Amino acid sequence: MTEVLRVENVAKDWATRLPDHAAPTYSLTILMVRKGNPKGVKDWDDLARPGVGVVIPNPKITGNGRYTYLAAWGAAQQSGLSPAQVKERVHKTFANVPVFDGGGRAATTTFAQRNIGDALCTFESEVNLIKTEFGDHFEVVYPRSTILAENPVAVIDRVVDKKGTRKEAEGYLKYLWSDEAQTIAAEHGLRPRNAQVLAKYGQANFDFGPADLDQDTLEVDLNYLIKTFNARISLYYLDKSFDPEVGGDTSTIGLGLQIQM
């Protein structure tokens, strides 16, 4: 969305025109491991251990990879490490990547079909698709904190005005918040905004239901990262006893994750 805004195709107030900051669905970055979790991967710090192969798409050119980079960085920062230690842990994690694929699909193939690596960083919404195509040979690990990946939508004003399709375009986007559309999203592994729909489909399509999810949105001190990224990181705390204190300066740009490379 940042790139679209840059070329002025979308109004600057796009995020306030619809509910939930104009994001009808969302997902989470999770860790997928092989059946039995032979390397004992439980959290982000495990991915930095020697001998653990981590499959992550190239963060220089892929959204999935960038989400993973920020998730790993934010989790290390919230664990109480110093800025130098945070940088070192993330460096070790990415040093464990055997190949930087050019997309999420390619990374999935590397992990699931070519059997390379011990863990795959991917979106929760991809889990059922991966198991359907490659078999039930994997397990999902939810790290203590992870990044929120929202799916924003917006009308491109000059296009709909030129074609006279504003009514249809705005009607479709509003439909995405209807019970029917939210149900379709949940059936396909995306987390809906509708709490009732999430409660109904959570146990079937996600490894834990909304009752187990303690959400906290943090404005994270990006420090070194702000030179490269502009982002707001939303972390989900899966362990309610984990309540880090947030200090230092923060830098907040836009909604969810908006990246400028």
- In the chain (261 residues long), the average pLDDT of successive 10-residue segments reads 59 89 92 97 96 95 91 89 93 96 95 97 93 94 88 90 94 97 93 90 57 41 41 40 31 29 27
* Res 261: pLDDT: 27
* Res 146: pLDDT: 86
Q: How far is CA 182 from the centre of its chain?
A: 19
* Four-CA torsion 104, 229, 146, 179, nearest 10 degrees: -70
* Res 4: pLDDT: 55
Alpha-carbon distance of 234 to 147, in angstroms, equals 6
The pTM (predicted TM-score) of the whole model is 0.78
Helix (H, G, I), strand (E, B) or coil at 68: helix
CA angle 30, 24, 176 (to 5 degrees): 130
Walk me through the domains of the chain, giving residue ranges and CATH numbers. Answer: 25-152+213-237 (3.40.190.10)
